[in-house]
Amino acid sequence: MSDLFDRHRPMLNDAVRALYARGYWTPFAEIPSEKLYGEGVKTRADADFAAQRNMGFDLPGHPESHRQGAEVSPFGPALGVVYPAADATVLIAAAKAAAPALATASVEARAGVCLEILTRLNRMSFLLGHATMHTTGQAFAMAFQAGGPHAQDRGLEAVAVAWEEMKRFPARAIWEKPQGKAAPLVIEKHWTLVPAGVALAIGCNTFPTWNSYPGIFASLATGNPVIVKPHPAAILPLALTVRIAREVLVEAGLPPDAILLAVDAPGAEITKDLATDPAVRIIDYTGSAAFGAWLRDNARQAQIFTEEAGVNSVVIAATDDFAGMCANLAFSLSLYSGQMCTAPQNIFVPEAGIDTDQGHMSFDAVAVGIVAAVDALLADPGRAAGVLGAIANPATLDRLTRMRETGRVLREATPGGEGRTVSPLILAVKAGNPAAEGECFGPVAFVVAAADADAGIADAARLATRRGAITAALYDTDEARIARAVAAFAVAGVNLSVNLTGNIFVNQSAAFSDFHVTGANPAGNASLTDPAFVAARFRRVMWRRPVAA
């Protein structure tokens, strides 16, 4: 078992250094290139994905009472993959049976297993890209990155944080208390790290691996067996993950049921049964605020780590690069059709307009500039398809139709391309418009008329505090106002990007550097990956005895 650890120790050391430096670092290449991933890997992944279609999914030794699976690609075809499925009680029992061996494995053994799993997942990033594309609707390039190397980065980050927490204090210490002229009291103390219990990782439809890997790997590294419960529409990426993980566990002499797949059908989810089982002590959840609240109300035996919903805002106060700003925002609004938890929704613009490098521009001129940039970005159908991808959930399209009535249409949503595809709807609204006061998931943006820039900042911060927000962006040239915005968004618990105009976007969150979600507003109670995300997944239990004189 320590072979795996020894093999991957340099990567772990680098990851730990990266955690504390918080600069750019990754061991996993983000470009889907055969130069980086090996000759022939693309062709093999295409063949592997095709072979998996309309087939049973093989998960050797996994509990199975029946088969389940009804995934349909947002790009059109049903995947036709059926997975082994079992009741919640069966899965819980299997996880509990695997728990003692995982708990008593050394920290090094568990870390080695996690690092080997991530390394193997990295090698199959092309296949994970296909699986992610055809469950989430992300275009391939994004599906490869978000479903593959970027998700692996977040998994590795969680392993590194867990490692640091577990190795933080010595496993043994001598406590020697002076007794004046008498011999000192000498006690030897030993600490055992005890995992919290069974962990449940509840995945989402849009980022099945990226959002689930931190919880899965944090739990596994700290010794908690994990039941992975994918969204019924996005099973395949996590099923591939679980299969690899089980293979590595077996090779390491650990029980494969230390990680399990909980497949269910839409409308007949077993999530509530799993979440309320007394053995489940950790829940990682990405999804709606409504189900997040249900978990808090009902799964009180568990620690719950969530990413929920929010209203991300942009405030445009001024810019010295109007074209760059518009192009940057156009990409952020269009990428994956606004289905990222980090995508902006509300763009606050002073009703009197703003100063720019192109002179003063009215509210309408700013709006026109943004719309024109979106149109330009999406003018080429091939590029549009590569940026927009497809809509994961049909309900998102229905919402668009309703939303269209809530403001002045600046840009119509237009269908096009393969599958469930649509370009962004952009509306102009007044401050306080109810539609813009809640999350409108998907390709909808509101350009909101604010009394002035400070009012826009205040409104955006208020929304973040009340409704949650994961990102905020500001365009401004006034350092004093930038400082006020920094303070306001800090209090609102939202990460702020200032004056992004080039090839870096507010949507992007980089492992080892950006803490994703702060935990300080309703968008989520956890941060990927800070020490709080890991610290209580295990406990330190001591035994001590006097040392003979």
And the tokens for 335?
Answer: 């990428």
Alpha-carbon distance of 44 to 34, in angstroms, equals: 11
Which span (65-73, 118-126, 176-184, 349-357) binds a second copy, by CB under 8 A? 176-184
Stretch that binds a second copy, among 13-21, 45-53, 134-142, 354-362 (CB under 8 A): 13-21
174 binds a second copy (CB under 8 A): yes
Q: How far is the CB of 537 from a second copy (least distance, A)?
A: 9
DSSP 437: G
Question: Is 89 one of the binding residues for a second copy (CB under 8 A)?
Answer: no
141 binds a second copy (CB under 8 A): no
Judged by CB under 8 A, does residue 22 bind a second copy? yes
- Quick check: 296 binds a second copy (CB under 8 A)? yes
**DSSP characters over 156-198:** HHHHHHHHHHHTSS-SEEEEEEEETTEEEEEEEEEEEEEE-SE
**Residue 227 · residue 246 · CB < 8 Å:** no
Question: Per rule CB under 8 A, is residue 73 in the interface with a second copy?
Answer: no
Check residue 395 and report its DSSP letter: H
Listed ranges 105-113, 169-177, 381-389, 413-421: which one lies at the site for a second copy (CB under 8 A): 169-177
Cβ contacts of 174 within 8 Å, gap of 6 or more = 186, 187, 188, 189, 547
Please state at what angle helix 125-136 crosses helix 236-251, rounded to 10 degrees.
150
Shortest separation between residue 142's beta carbon and a second copy, angstroms: 17
Nearer to a second copy, 369 or 519 (CB): 519
CA distances 275 to 201, 285, 348, 526, Å, are 10, 10, 39, 18
Could you give the CA distance from residue 122 to residue 134 in angstroms, rounded to a whole number?
19
SS3 content of the chain, % helix, strand, coil (to 5): 45, 20, 35
Site for a second copy in 314-343 (CB under 8 A): none
Grouping H, G, I as helix, E, B as strand and the rest as coil, residue 321 is coil
From the list 344, 341, 400, the residue with the least C-alpha distance to 204 is: 341
Q: Write each residue from 469 to 508 as x if it is in contact with a second copy (CB under 8 A), else as -, in one continuous string.
A: -----------------x--xxx-xxxxxxxxxxxx----
- # binding residues, a second copy (CB under 8 A): 66
Give me the least distance between CB of 497 and a second copy, in Å please. 6
Nearer to a second copy, 435 or 536 (CB): 536
Kindly state the tokens that stand for 95. Answer: 């996880």
CB 507 within 8 A of CB 312: no
Q: Between 311 and 444, name the residue whose CB sits nearer to a second copy.
A: 311
List the one residue from 46, 176, 418, 478 that touches a second copy (CB under 8 A).
176
> Could you give the CA distance from residue 527 to residue 480 in angstroms, rounded to a whole number?
29
Residue 536 binds to a second copy (criterion: CB under 8 A): yes
Instruction: Report in angstroms how near the CB of residue 160 gets to a second copy at its nearest.
Output: 13
Which of 6, 175 has the CB closer to a second copy?
A: 175
What is the closest distance, in whole angstroms, from the C-beta atom of residue 506 to a second copy in the complex? 10
- What's 493's DSSP letter? T
480 by Cβ neighbours in 10 Å (0-12 / 13-18 / 19+) ranks as exposed
Cβ-based nearer residue to a second copy, 245 or 318: 318
Structure tokens given for 527: 């941060």
Question: Is 112 an interacting residue with respect to a second copy (CB under 8 A)?
Answer: no
Q: To the nearest whole angstrom, how small is the minimum distance from the Cβ of residue 548 to a second copy?
A: 10
In this structure, what DSSP letter does residue 53 have? T
- Minimum gap (Å) between residue 472 Cβ and a second copy: 9
Q: Which two tokens stand for residue 453?
A: 């820039």
Pair 302, 201: CB distance under 8 Å: no
Contact 493, 464 (CB under 8 A): yes
Q: Which residue has the tokens 């106002």?
A: 481
- Near a second copy by CB under 8 A: residue from 2, 6, 21, 58: 21
Tell which positions 508-527 bind a second copy, by CB under 8 A: 510, 513-515, 518-520, 527
Q: Which is nearer to a second copy, 24 or 379 (CB)?
A: 24
Q: Which is nearer to a second copy, 320 or 351 (CB)?
A: 320
Which one of residues 35, 51, 177, 359 is an interface residue with a second copy (CB under 8 A)? Answer: 177
Q: Which residues bind a second copy (CB under 8 A)?
A: 19-24, 103, 165, 168-170, 173-179, 185, 187, 189-192, 194, 196, 296-297, 300, 486, 489-491, 493-504, 510, 513-515, 518-520, 527, 530-532, 535-536, 539-546
